[in-house]
Amino acid sequence: MSTNPFSSKEIVNLREFIEKNGWKIESTIENYFRYSLKKEKLVLFTIKYPITLPLRLNVPFEVVSFRVSLAFQFWNLNRTTYRIILYFMKALRNLAISLTLEHEFPLKGKEKQLIDLLNLLIPDIIRKENESTWLNRIRISLMNKRDKLKGFSQHKINAIGETLKNVGLEPSFKIPWELKYGVPKIRVPETLIFSNNDEFDDFFILEKGYFSYYKDFSYNKFYVRSLFDSYTPYILNELFEENSEFKLEIIMENWINFSRLILKSIIELIGNSETDYSELIKFRPVKEFTYNNKSFIKEQCNLAFTALFYESSIAKELFSIHNDLFNKPPSNFEVIESINQYTEAEDLIKNYRFEEATHRLNESLKIFNKNQQKKVVVSILLKLRKIARILNQNDIALNYLRNALSVAKSGEIPIEFILKIHYKLGLSYYKRDDLIKALEHFNIIISFLEKEEVAIDKEGFLGMTYLYIGLIYLKKNRTVESRNYFKKTVQIGNDVPKVKLHYYLHRAITFKNQGNYSQAQKFLRIGVNTVGLDFTNKSYYKTLIDIVLELSEFYIHYRKDGKKAMYLLKKVEDNLTLREIGSIRRAIRWNLLMIDYFNTFQVNREKTQIYLKQSQKLRKQLQTIGVSE
């Protein structure tokens, strides 16, 4: 149910009424009593209570700034709502004046060091500057000059984490609603989130050199937020690092408790207000409050937002705070920074720089192991296995898989990960002709997938597993079981073309190895006819190329049908890429088949030499990156 917006006259009269009582719409640093009006009859008041130092400084310096916002929406602007507005303007001002928080910083003898630090970090102030812009410039300065400050040691990070735990806040995957779209990329590896399972938001955001905390509460159709933020953690750490009695984490705990105490005071004000709640509308903050919302008068939303939200609101591109590879929320910067090494390694693998990729993966593996981030550990082991497999280090690759399964089975790993490892192990043992172990892993997959729903391509996964079990039983001469599993494979393949193509390719290769070329041809042709010569589908185009190359070889060497062979080879030519190692190997095979074609059907030494040189060039390319053909 919607409300009629303010009229122009109502806005003018209400603004005049509010500003006569000492509230301003501007959010400058020195304005401690701020208000906002939204056209949809929503009123917001924010008080600011900064903690400063007993020193005369040339720049505005706040050790910590507390801000409290109270918002409510009403049906009509009348005498009753004017009384509500007046009550809260006076009550909030009185509360702000009565607030006290004692700090005793041991500044004696530290004055010059403090001034030097402020001159280094605090930028020149701009007249009438918006506080959010001012804080953002300080944050940028902190980031750019961080190398000139001593950051937090791991011991200090742990102490902060323990203190947060004492006040009911722990590392969390929860995200503040104002950051749901992400943060600037540069902030991802230096943002830690702490929260709890309370009904309303209760968040501490730990950044390098910056503290933010806020707690939301909705009470009798009022929305309240109590927040503090501080750009001084590194400054205080630098000043008092040699003072064993100075505990930044204790000060932080006092700030959190004070912020929560202010929130309770606001709730008491609401309870004592004798408000007629039928005049008010219950609203959703996540819907009503956004930065620079044009529905706010002068586009000024003075809700106590975190500085990180402001920075995110003006960023061109946003990135998720949490990585899907974490099985538990990160509790220190070391963990989230190590994700960068992981992603860099992924790029290095794509560029065939395997030695560098292996080094980065091993370095990040140490960090994730230490922090019990098992999901990332498993992912790294699978990446290392991929590198070893590409380099034909099959024993090493198998060992990585075994280790990955061992970690995965110890808990906290999604079942999808475990099933994929079992599949890769089954495939590895099958290729090594260790059929008993291969069957063991494939049967584990079957026993689970036939009963449970999982977040993977269940049918495709089952189809490929049925295929390999069928091939294993075929090698064991257990024809009946083999036929049953092949039947299941084809049934799934009717809906999943990738499975069907794999089935026809493997069956054809089996017949070829047995010398049964007519059956091999039959299965290869059926495979081609299943999807046609359509190489556009990414899920199966590589398998289709393999089938076409096999069929081309058959026409060249056994059927002696040059016309059909050339037709197929030409179709493949336009779809060969050299972006991946597997594709390079396919291109080598294609060139060798072209040589066979010209040697068999059109003796053309010049063309034969062209394709020979091309195949040699591709082989050399593989050798350069350390891969054998």
* Torsion (CA) 294, 296, 297, 301 in degrees, nearest 10: -110
Give the number of domains in the chain: 1
Phi-psi region of 511 (alpha: psi -120 to 50; beta: other; left: phi over 0): alpha
pLDDT value, residue 484: 97
Most confident stretch, 295-299, 357-361, 410-414, 559-563: 357-361
Structural domain harbouring 71: 8-313
CA distance 307 to 295: 22
Residue 400 lies in a domain: no
In this structure, what token pair is assigned to residue 187? 């902030």
Q: Are the C-beta atoms of 629 and 601 separated by less than 8 Å?
A: no
Question: Region 248-264: what's the mean pLDDT?
Answer: 97
Give the pLDDT confidence of 142-186 residue by residue, as tens digits. 999 988 988 899 999 999 999 999 999 999 999 999 999 999 999
Classify residue 27: in a domain, yes or no: yes
Q: Tell me if 177 is assigned to some domain.
A: yes
Whether 482 maps to a domain, the answer reads no
d(CA 69, CA 27): 13
Give the number of other Cβ atoms within 10 Å of residue 182's Cβ: 17
pLDDT digits (tens, 9 = 90+) for 617-627: 999 988 888 88
pLDDT of 291 reads 64
Rounded distance between C-alpha atoms, residue 107 and residue 234, angstroms: 15
Sequence-distant (6+) residues with CB within 8 A of 174 are: 193, 195, 203
8 Å CB contact between 455 and 413: no
CA dist 120 and 166 (Å) reads 34
- Flag whether 484 is in a domain: no
Q: How many CB atoms lie within 10 A of CB 49?
A: 21
Give the whole-angstrom CA distance, residue 231 versus residue 62.
8
Task: Check pLDDT > 90 for residue 603.
Answer: no
Residue 562: CB atoms within 10 Å: 15
369 in any annotated domain: no
> Is 307 inside any structural domain?
yes
Average pLDDT over the chain reads 92
CB 270 within 8 A of CB 214: no
Q: Provide the phi-psi class of 96: left if phi over 0, else alpha when psi is between -120 and 50, else beta.
A: alpha
pLDDT of 35 above 90 = yes
Question: What token pair was written down for 158?
Answer: 């742990």
Give the confidence band of 264 by pLDDT, cuts at 50, 70, 90. very high
3-class secondary-structure state, position 18: helix
